[in-house]
Amino acid sequence: MTGLWHGANYTFILWGLYHGVFQIIERACFGKTLERHKLAAHFYAAVVFVFGWVLFRADNLVQAGVMVKRMIFPWQYTESTLLLGQLFGAKTVLVIICGGLGCGFVQEMFQGCKKSFNWKNSYLELGFCTLMFVFSIVMLASNTYNPFIYFRF
């Protein structure tokens, strides 16, 4: 159903099936294991998420296959993959990697601080989250390259 909602191309339907299959597998086979092992769950979710977005992004299955191959074997560069080096500098790539690896840990740390200081959901937390949200929007809006992500819907 999610694939039908997101677009008209068959890759969106495959993306929805992919998503549904992993939900079924998690609930039927190893959902409890993932609850006990937070680091493994974080790694598993990141891998499933990243590979799932390939179907969401690709125009067809051939393109999806090429993307997955380049993800698994990144040392096989072509002229088109070198374009990424022009779009993203080393600092941007480092920030993306650190953000991806650290997002769950930062959330856990923030929850730990809330418990140790006996914070309830307060105006301070609401203000901080609002400030971070506005800052994120300003940073996105100030970027020179703003593609319209729904062009294929």
What Å distances lie between residue 65 and 17, 50, 52, 56, 70, CA to CA?
Answer: 17, 14, 12, 12, 9
23 in Cβ contact with 33 (< 8 Å) = no
Please enumerate in sequence order all residues whose Cβ is within 8 A of that of 125, keeping only pairs 6 or more positions apart, or say none: 114, 119
**Which residue shows structure tokens 């067809």?**
60
The dihedral through the CA atoms of 13, 53, 42, 99 has a sign that is negative
- DSSP-assigned letter for residue 27: I
For this structure, is 6 an active site residue?
yes
Given the residues 6, 19, 37, 42, the one annotated as active site: 6
- DSSP-assigned letter for residue 7: -
Catalytic residues: 6
